[in-house]
């Protein structure tokens, strides 16, 4: 049985309190292994990683008691406001999200297991660390191989001649929120700022999330979709019961008669950050979606995806999944049953 290391737990009651405590310690939100303090919401990623000694904070600042981070609110003019502390199970079950943002509900309901969705939060999901076969291992395993770049060593085990870390972004809600044009409110000791979710991510497996010095993600805002927006999330995973994405596709589109008026596509699980597909979108926009066009779009997406050999599934399989799942997502958007 793997045990947690010793640490001090501080339960914050307000965002200000969390910021103050995080400010007492060195930068923790960037997943620096030497960080002294770390935020924790549901703990479904932080605690297993602490057991593996991937994270070794001396202090954990808990966000579960912060009432301001809760709540789901919708109005047709301003859209959806989600507290970062909303649990994944609430997101998946919310009638308004299921009706107006079905891809988001779908992404939440295919994350991990029912028990973990009861604990895990939207904010924790968006700030999830990147994953790699050489990183998400026990301390014993990693030490035996002399660690890797993401854990302070000199070399990447996946691409020894590469220029950085290629650990994979695997959080299921991020590609959907990017496709839906969502923004995030981030609280810091210097004040609040609003950032498009797309800008929350770096192309950097070591510091994947653009937060620093204990910043707290507080709210997500998703614009109100015009009545005829359709959205879907198609995820391929090894175990259907629960697993991280081997590759997945978030797709949002609206149509003007038979023609596509607008479309957004974002891949997940194949790069260090969620990967938008602007060239595929340009091919599809303004066109009637014929089977040949959809095949061409899937092929273009296949060419844009360059996963590394660092998660389950071979590179070839993951690229083939990208092609098949883009096609599957586009088919779903034009299926008569999808009317959102
Ligand atoms: C067996 C298993 C299967 C899983 N499967 C999946 C899966 O299929 N898809 C998937 O996406 N995830 C999966 N996960 C990962 C995890 O359960 C979810 O991503 C979950 O949403 C994380 O939320 P949390 O609240 O538990 O995060 P925590 O573990 O509390 O935190 C995760 C990270 O977010 C930071 N953080 C949390 N809240 C905030 C905030 N408000 N502001 C700033 N930083 C914050 C923490 O510091 C930490 O770095 C799985 C985990 C396990 C153990
Ligand atoms: S991609 Fe390379 S540096 Fe990054 S976690 Fe994997 S082995 Fe380590």
User: Which ligand gives the minimal distance to the CA of 86?
Assistant: 1
CA separation for the pair 300, 304 (Å, rounded):
6
Residue nearest to atom 2 of ligand 2 (CA): 156
Q: Which atom of ligand 2 is nearest to the CA of 148?
A: 8
CATH fold for domain 230-334: Enolase-like; domain 1 (3.30.390)
Does ligand 1 lie within 6 Å of residue 233's CB atom?
A: no
270-304 pLDDT tens trace: 999 999 999 999 999 999 999 999 999 999 999 99
Per-position DSSP letters for 96-159, written without gaps between them? HHHHH-HHHHHHHHTSS-HHHHHH-BHHHHHTPPPB-TTTSS-HHHHHHTT--GGGT-S--SS-
With a pLDDT cut of 70, the percent of the chain lying above it is 95
3-state SS class at 52: coil
Please identify, by atom number, the ligand 2 atom nearest to the C-alpha of residue 310.
Answer: 6
Partnered with residue 189 across adjacent β-strands are none
Pocket (CB within 6 angstroms of ligand 2) = 132, 134-135, 148-150, 156-158, 165-167, 205, 310
Give me 252's structure tokens. Answer: 């949002």
Q: Relative to the alpha carbon of 128, which ligand is closest?
A: 1
Question: What is the rounded CA–CA span in Å between residue 56 and residue 49?
Answer: 8
Rounded to whole angstroms, how far apart are CA atoms 135 and 130?
Answer: 9
pLDDT (tens digit, 9 = 90+) per residue, 200-249? 999 999 999 999 878 999 999 999 987 689 999 999 998 888 889 999 99
Please name every residue paired with 236 in a beta bridge, in sequence order, or none if there are none. Answer: 247
Question: For residue 120, how far is its CA from the centre of ligand 1 (angstroms)?
Answer: 6
CATH topology of domain 68-126+168-222: 3.30.465
Q: What is the pLDDT of residue 339?
A: 44
For the chain, the structural domain boundaries read 68-126+168-222, 230-334
Ranges of residues in the chain with a pLDDT under 70 are 26-35, 227, 336-340
Q: Do domains 68-126+168-222 and 230-334 have the same CATH topology?
A: no
337 CB-near residues (< 8 Å, 6+ apart): none
């Amino acid at each position: 049985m793997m045990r947690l290391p010793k640490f001090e737990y501080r339960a914050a009651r307000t965002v200000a309190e969390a910021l103050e405590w995080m400010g007492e310690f060195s930068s923790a939100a960037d997943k620096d292994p030497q960080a002294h303090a770390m935020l924790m919401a549901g703990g479904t990623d932080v605690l297993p990683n602490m057991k593996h000694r991937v994270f070794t904070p001396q202090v954990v600042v808990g966000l579960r008691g912060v009432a301001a981070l809760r709540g789901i609110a919708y109005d047709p003019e301003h859209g959806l406001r989600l507290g970062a502390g909303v649990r994944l199970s609430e997101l998946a079950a919310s009638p308004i999200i299921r009706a107006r943002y079905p891809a988001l509900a779908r992404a939440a309901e295919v994350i991990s297991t029912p028990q973990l969705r009861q604990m895990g939060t939207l904010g924790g999901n968006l700030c999830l660390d990147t994953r790699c076969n050489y990183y998400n291992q026990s301390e014993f395993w990693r030490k035996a191989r002399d660690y890797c770049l993401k854990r302070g060593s000199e070399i990447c085990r996946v691409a020894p001649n590469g220029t950085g870390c290629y650990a994979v972004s695997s959080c299921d809600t991020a590609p959907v929120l990017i496709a839906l044009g969502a923004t995030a409110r981030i609280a810091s000791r210097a004040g609040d700022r609003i950032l498009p979710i797309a800008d929350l991510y770096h192309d950097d497996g070591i510091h994947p999330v653009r937060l620093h010095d204990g910043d707290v993600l507080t709210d997500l805002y998703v614009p109100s979709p015009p009545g005829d927006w359709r959205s879907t999330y198609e995820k391929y995973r090894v175990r259907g019961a629960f697993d991280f994405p081997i590759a997945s596709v978030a797709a949002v589109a609206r149509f003007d008669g038979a023609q596509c008026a607008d479309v957004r596509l974002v891949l997940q699980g194949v790069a260090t950050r969620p990967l938008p597909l602007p060239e595929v979108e340009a091919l599809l926009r303004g066109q009637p979606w014929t089977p040949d066009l959809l095949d061409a779009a899937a092929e273009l997406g296949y060419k844009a995806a360059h996963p590394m050999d660092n998660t389950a599934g071979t590179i070839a399989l993951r690229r083939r999944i990208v092609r098949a799942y883009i096609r599957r997502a586009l088919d779903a958007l034009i299926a008569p049953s999808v009317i959102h």
